[in-house]
Amino acid sequence: MSSCTKKFDDINTDPNKTTAALFNPNFLMSQAEFQFSNTGYDQLLFQSMWVQGLSSTYDYYGNGDKYTLRGSGTGYYSRTWNTSYGALTLIDEMKNLVKGNASYTNLDNCGTILRVLFMQRITDLYGDAPYSQEGQAKAGITSPVFDTQQAIYTSMLSQLATAITALDAAKAVPTADLFYSGNVAQWKKLGYSLMLRVAMRLTKVDPATAQKYAEMAYAGGTMSAVADNAKAQADYSNSNGNANAAALLVPDDFREVRWSQTLISYLKANSDPRVSAIAEISSGTGKAANETQVAGINTASLQIGMPNGYDQAGGTTDISKAPNYPGTSPADPTVSGDAAAPDGKYSRPRFAVYDDRNMNNIMLTYGQTELLLAEASTRGWNTGVAATHFANALAADIQALAQLNTSAAATVSAGDIATYVAAHPLLPATALQQINMEYWVASSTTFDFNETFANWRRSGYPVLTPVTYAGQYITGQVPRRMPYPITLPQTNGANYNAAVAHQGTDNFATRVWWDKQ
């Protein structure tokens, strides 16, 4: 028996398949915004503990807490790379779909701003990376060159300047925008605030360019209120739950991930009202209570940060050997089979705030922007009055915590904020330290640890003491970058090798271009 047909095109064409002419490119914008924002283990295992925002005795957190590769540590090298480039490909396709269509000019230019936002995270963490040839697989470029970080930064600043200017509120606005619901005025503010952040990364290596674009951003109009914060809210009921919350709700993570002693001690020394907004201890004692996922006790005086670099292995680095160890949380005699909780008296991220599966992911804020303007002014640049920017930032950073959670559980009263701001004026002699210590606090408490890590490397604040532990992948210093994904030598070997030859050994110690000493 045999048969044939002349209708191969009909048979092999999916009748339900969409086409570029039918697909609404706006949908790609919201997907990209959420994918990029939703970090989770992308930043928790390494970056959060490198900067001593968080601390943990649990084994696989040794990747960041103790600089030891644990639990498929090398597999996590690629997390930020893959998440960010995955979001970038959505923006690339969106821009391809609207190319040449004047009715989508605002969507196109917002896409350019997002492309810079996404790319900055990649290059800040890894250094040289594909940019000029990124997202061109349809054109046959499947092994893109790695642009130097200097070239990437030059391009990002130029592209931002063009895209922001081209935004036009009189034309159609994005209709699936998680950040601002298509508000063009706020997109302009985001663009200029991002320009400022990109510019300020260059203070070590190209202060003239940094000044030029910082002043351009200030003149153009940066964020002016916490309502301008760039954020994307998770939607757990529709399978878009918050990845940070998902990670922290793993029983071992919930029991042993704690705020770092470095951070909590700094907040308490400054009588910072954020302590009770962000931290709590378990309301019960013992292991069972510390695994029970309910709200704890957030009384500020009871909060204790846990030092980085300790474990529960019983040796010289056991947490019980840490200086000023507060003691174990004893087993509850009323709970059958309960055990002591060695970390139980240390402060964890507040359950009601950071374990909400619908929590907002915050990416760039008015407070961060005001801090960068304060620093630029302190450097003598034309960006306003440093002391005013700093005071604005202190208030805005505390107010931003209420945006993390839909119940506003982390709200600090207006009176407490005003009191704190009045007690902490910017002092010229210590201005750079004050500004960047606050940047560290603000970025860490909003779980923006990629940004915390980047600004720490740029500014040098806080001055961190590296962890000492057996079997480290780097000793005597805090890591300065993330190695490239381990698959790149196989998937893009020639360009990977060229990047390493240009930038330096592919390890945790090699500094990216703007981080030169």
Handedness of CA 230, 233, 239, 243 (dihedral sign): positive
* N residues, the chain: 517
Model pLDDT, residue 72:
81
* Cα angle value 296/417/195 (rounded, 5°): 100
CB of 24 closer than 8 Å to CB of 107: no
The DSSP H or E segment spanning 385 is none
Cα–Cα distance, 275 to 19 (Å, whole number): 52
What's the rounded Cα separation, in Å, for the pair 517 and 511?
9
Most distant CA pair in the chain, distance: 92
Tokens of 131: 């940019």
Beta pairing partners, 230: 364
Residue at 120: amino acid letter: Q
Q: What pLDDT does 241 receive? A: 97
Partners of residue 306 on adjacent β-strands = 260
Measured CA to CA, the distance from residue 262 to residue 307 in angstroms comes to 7
> Do residues 136 and 120 make contact, with C-beta atoms less than 8 angstroms apart?
no
384: left (phi over 0), alpha (psi -120 to 50) or beta: left
Six-digit token string for 298: 């957030």
Report which secondary-structure segment, H or E, holds 30: helix 26-37
- pLDDT at residue 340, as a whole number: 97
The helix (run of H) or strand (run of E) holding residue 93 is helix 79-98
Q: What is the pLDDT of residue 1?
A: 44
Q: Which residue from 41, 55, 16, 135 is spatially nearest to 87, judged by alpha carbons?
A: 135
Pick the closest to residue 218 from 374, 435, 392, 31 (CA basis): 374
Q: What pLDDT is attached to residue 188? A: 98
State the pLDDT at residue 378. 98
Residue 9 CA to residue 158 CA, distance in Å, equals 45
Please list the pLDDT of the chain residue by residue as tens digits (517 residues): 455 555 545 555 555 555 666 689 999 999 999 999 999 999 999 999 999 999 999 999 999 999 999 988 888 999 999 999 999 999 999 999 999 999 999 999 999 999 999 999 999 999 999 999 999 988 999 999 999 999 999 999 999 999 999 999 999 999 999 999 999 999 999 999 999 999 999 999 999 999 999 999 999 999 999 999 999 999 999 999 999 999 999 999 999 999 999 999 999 999 999 999 999 999 999 999 999 999 999 999 999 999 999 999 999 999 999 999 999 999 999 999 999 999 999 999 999 999 999 999 999 999 999 999 999 999 999 999 999 999 999 999 999 999 999 888 999 999 999 999 999 999 999 999 999 999 999 999 999 999 999 999 999 999 999 999 999 999 999 999 999 999 999 999 999 999 999 999 999 999 999 998 7
Which single residue is written with the structure tokens 């895209």? Answer: 163
Locate all alpha helices (DSSP H) within 148-292, ordered by sequence: 149-166, 184-200, 207-220, 243-248, 251-256, 261-269, 274-278, 286-291
Residue 22: phi and psi, rounded to 5, are: -95, -25
Judged on CB neighbours under 10 Å (0-12, 13-18, 19+), 131 is buried
Instruction: Supply the angle between the helices 366-378 and 207-220 in degrees, to the nearest 10.
Output: 130
Residue 517 has a pLDDT of 74
pLDDT attached to residue 406: 85
Q: Where are the domains positioned within the chain?
A: 24-222+465-517, 253-354
- At the topology level, CATH places domain 24-222+465-517 in 1.25.40
Determine the residue type at 279. A
Tell me how many degrees the CA angle 175-180-186 measures, rounded to the nearest 5: 120
Omega before 462 within 30 of 0, i.e. cis? yes
Place of tokens 């970080």: 149
